[in-house]
Amino acid sequence: MRLQLAGYRVICAEDGEEALEIFHREQPDLLVLDVMLPRLDGFAVCRRLRAESCVPIIFLSALEAISERVAGLDLGADDYIPKPFSPKELEARIATILRRVGPGSATAEIRDLPVGQGVLRVGDLVVDTNRRQVSRAGERIGLTYTEFSLLELLFREPGRVVPRAEILEQLWGYPPRRAADLRVVDVYVARLRGKLEPDPRNPELILTVRGIGYSSQRVGDMPASASASASAPAPAPAPAPASVAS
């Protein structure tokens, strides 16, 4: 198998129920899920895992409709590859995600994600890049690795318009080849707004620049009511080593 030749330890499951059993027993660093798994489909597996873990998930599917792709990303998947696909492309997508999140992602809780450094305050949000946590009024907001990486990319230079193609390349590691590729970015921005914005339909933190991409508000441009303060939490424990379940 190509992934094994690339140095990954690969654990295979015959159906969705077995995939969950393997996840809890082996704690892999990334999951590759076929949407059409028997007994419990890939979407159901993803839904269950997102309730407890931020382990990266890549969907493989013969369903090419954009609505299916959006449905998978809405559940919190990190990527979605339509069939037929090149094994080399799958390997590249896996490598890109694991570079971004590092090993040990299966055991990291959604609200306790190590990496990065510094504390950003954006309106009433406190963004702690040491632990990759976001909080509002002391309440933590659970983000997946990809959601946090998107937030960090947009907030790194407030006011700068970041093209959708640039977001795709920086977070997913490949340039847009079809319109559906850029839709991945839109879905993740919508997910992030749903978690961070008081009114996602009238966003104040992440703004759309039509025909180009997205930008984050400068702190000075935030509504007058927005303010926050917090101290940085202690560093998180070091992560464990890497495996892929499929």
Contacts of 10 (CB under 8 A, 6+ apart): 1, 3, 4, 243, 244, 245, 246
pTM score > 0.75 for this model? no
Better-scored residue on pLDDT, 244 or 139? 139
The pLDDT tens digits for 107-164 are 444 443 343 457 888 778 888 887 788 999 888 898 888 888 899 899 888 889 999 9
How confident is the model at residue 131, as a pLDDT? Answer: 78
Q: What is the pLDDT of residues 192-242, one digit of tens each?
A: 999 999 999 999 999 999 999 999 875 444 444 443 333 334 444 444 446
More confident residue, 213 or 100: 213
Terminal Cα distance for the chain, rounded: 12
Looking at residue 166, its pLDDT comes to 95
- Rounded Cα distance between 214 and 38, Å, is 39
pLDDT for 225: 41
Which has the higher per-residue pLDDT, 244 or 26?
A: 26
Distance (Å, whole) CA 158 – CA 225:
19
Contacts of 136 (CB under 8 A, 6+ apart): 124, 125, 126, 196, 228
**Cβ proximity of 168 and 182 under 8 Å:** yes
Tokens of 1: 């198998």
Give the model's pLDDT for residue 113: 39
Q: What is the rounded distance in angstroms from the CA atom of residue 46 to the CA atom of residue 50?
A: 6
Q: What is the DSSP letter of 95?
A: H
Question: Could you give the domains of the chain?
Answer: 2-108 (3.40.50.2300), 119-221 (1.10.10.10)
């703004």: which residue's tokens? Answer: 207
Q: Are 210 and 200 in contact (CB under 8 A)?
A: no
Return the pLDDT at 235: 45
pLDDT of residue 105: 52
